[in-house]
Amino acid sequence: MDLNTAKVILTGGTSGIGYETAKLLRAKGAQVVICGRDAITVDKVAKELDVFGIRADVANESDLENLFEFALEKMGGLNVLINNAGLGFMGSLVETSTEDFTRIWEVNTKSAFICGKLAAKHFIEQNRGNIINISSMGAVKGFANGSAYVSSKSAMTGLTMCWQAELRKYNVKVIQVNPSEVITPFADKLGYISADIKNKLKGFEIAEVIVSTLGMSDIGFIPEINIWATNP
pLDDT of residue 194: 61
- Three-state secondary structure call for residue 211: helix
Residue 88 CA to residue 183 CA, distance in Å, equals 13
CATH of domain 3-227: 3.40.50.720
Q: What is the DSSP letter of 193?
A: -
Is the model's pLDDT at 125 over the cut of 80? yes
Give 81's pLDDT tier (boundaries 50, 70, 90). very high
Q: What is the DSSP letter of 200?
A: S
pLDDT of residue 192: 55
pLDDT of residue 193: 62
Q: What are the backbone dihedrals phi and psi of residue 10, each rounded to the nearest 5 degrees, phi first?
A: -125, 110
Tens-place pLDDT, residues 6-31: 999 999 999 999 999 999 999 999 99
- The strand ranges marked E within the chain are 7-10, 31-36, 52-55, 80-83, 129-134, 172-179, 182-183, 201-202, 224-227
Active site residues: 149
Tens-place pLDDT, residues 47-56: 999 999 999 9
Tens-place pLDDT, residues 145-190: 999 999 999 999 999 999 999 999 999 999 999 998 898 765 555 5
Percentage above 70 pLDDT, the chain: 94
Mean confidence (pLDDT) of the chain: 94
Residue 182 CA to residue 179 CA, distance in Å, equals 7
DSSP string, 37-58: S-HHHHHHHHHHHT-EEEE--T
Is the model's pLDDT at 128 over the cut of 80? yes
